[in-house]
């Protein structure tokens, strides 16, 4: 579980995140939405410990992160940045194995190889395993990066735009896998998305950020009922459906 309390942060005197509070629970996919520049990536970087907050508290499994060692964070958190640098000399298999780098010694144990094999199978990317990172497409690479995150079986999963650049089939497939693994392994998952429909379909709760503030938190069924607010924050005109299948269609920008 993650608890964020009155979190504030600013990049000098430019952008700031203001007084953000929320909880994320094990077995739940919490989705962070918001226009470009609203602070989504900054928020994930603060939770993952890459950026240091100015004020407020972050608790993980009840522990104040100000007082836990780096090892605890490394062991429990997998964080997928928006743009992950991967050396192109690695094969897909080698890169996924590096997801276990906290544990790897000089000799790689059989159980680690098995963990890599298992996640490759689960994500259906056996055909990519022997290819070099620079020999696969952007979308395939994103799936491989998700395998890299999942291989160590994290307790907390922080994914920054994991499905941007994927085709429509892979978007659904990857979100389904993220959701299934979150439930099966009782992971606390926070996902930054741009696709409102993927958020409606695959998240348990949604947080909407706008200009560094949390302007909404609630279930997808509630989110779709604040269309006017969504239009205001994204500066866009939307059509939507709330019968049976929730969906939102962008019509025009304001």
Long-range CB pairs of 214-223 (<8 Å, 24+ gap) are: 214/20, 214/21, 214/22, 217/22, 220/246, 221/246, 223/199
Please report whether residue 42 would count as binding Mg ion according to CB under 5 A.
Answer: no
Please report whether residue 38 would count as binding Mg ion according to CB under 5 A.
Answer: no
Instruction: State which of residues 2, 4, 34, 200 lies at the interface with ligand ADP (CB under 6 A).
Output: 34
Taking CB under 5 A as the binding criterion, the range among 19-27, 82-90, 104-112, 178-186 that sits at the site for Mg ion is: 82-90
Please report whether residue 42 would count as binding ligand ADP according to CB under 6 A.
Answer: yes
Task: Tell me how many residues contact Mg ion (CB under 5 A).
Answer: 3
Cα gap 229→32, rounded to integer Å: 15
Please report whether residue 152 would count as binding ligand ADP according to CB under 6 A.
Answer: no
Task: Pick between residue 20 and residue 224 the one whose CB is nearest to Mg ion.
Answer: 20
Tokens of 86: 């991967």
**Torsional class of 27: left (φ above 0), alpha (ψ -120 to 50), beta (otherwise):** left
Tokens of 173: 């497939």
Cα gap 153→99, rounded to integer Å: 10
Taking CB under 6 A as the binding criterion, the range among 32-40, 59-67, 198-206, 221-229 that sits at the site for ligand ADP is: 32-40
Cα gap 30→84, rounded to integer Å: 22
Task: Tell me how many residues contact ligand ADP (CB under 6 A).
Answer: 11
* Partner that binds at residue 39, options ligand ADP, Mg ion, none, CB closer than 5 to 8 Å by kind: ligand ADP
Please report whether residue 41 would count as binding ligand ADP according to CB under 6 A.
Answer: yes
Q: Helix (H, G, I), strand (E, B), or coil: what is residue 186?
A: coil
- State the residues that interact with ligand ADP by CB under 6 A: 11, 14-15, 34, 36-42
């Amino acid at each position: 579980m993650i608890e964020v309390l009155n979190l504030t942060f600013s990049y000098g005197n430019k952008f700031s995140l203001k007084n953000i509070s929320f909880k994320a629970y094990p077995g739940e996919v919490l989705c962070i939405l918001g226009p470009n520049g609203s602070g989504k990536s900054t928020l994930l970087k603060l939770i993952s410990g890459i950026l240091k907050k100015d004020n407020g508290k972050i608790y993980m499994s009840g522990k104040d992160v100000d007082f836990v060692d780096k090892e605890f964070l490394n062991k429990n958190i997998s964080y997928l940045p928006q743009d992950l640098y991967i050396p192109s000399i690695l094969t897909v298999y080698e890169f996924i194995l590096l997801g276990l780098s906290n544990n790897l010694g000089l000799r790689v144990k059989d159980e680690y190889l098995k963990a890599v094999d298992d996640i490759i199978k689960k994500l259906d990317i056996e055909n990519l395993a022997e290819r070099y990172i620079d020999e696969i497409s952007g979308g395939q690479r994103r799936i491989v990066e998700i395998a890299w995150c999942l291989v160590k079986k994290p307790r907390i999963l922080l994914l920054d735009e994991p499905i941007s650049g994927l085709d429509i089939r892979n978007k659904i497939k990857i979100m389904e896998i993220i959701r299934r693994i979150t439930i099966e392994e009782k992971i606390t998952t926070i996902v930054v998305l741009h696709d409102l429909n993927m958020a409606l379909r695959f998240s348990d709760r949604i947080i909407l950020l706008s200009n560094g503030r949390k302007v909404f938190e609630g279930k997808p069924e509630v989110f779709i009922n604040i269309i006017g607010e969504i239009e205001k924050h994204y500066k866009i005109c939307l059509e939507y459906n709330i019968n049976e299948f929730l969906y939102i269609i962008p019509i025009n920008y304001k």
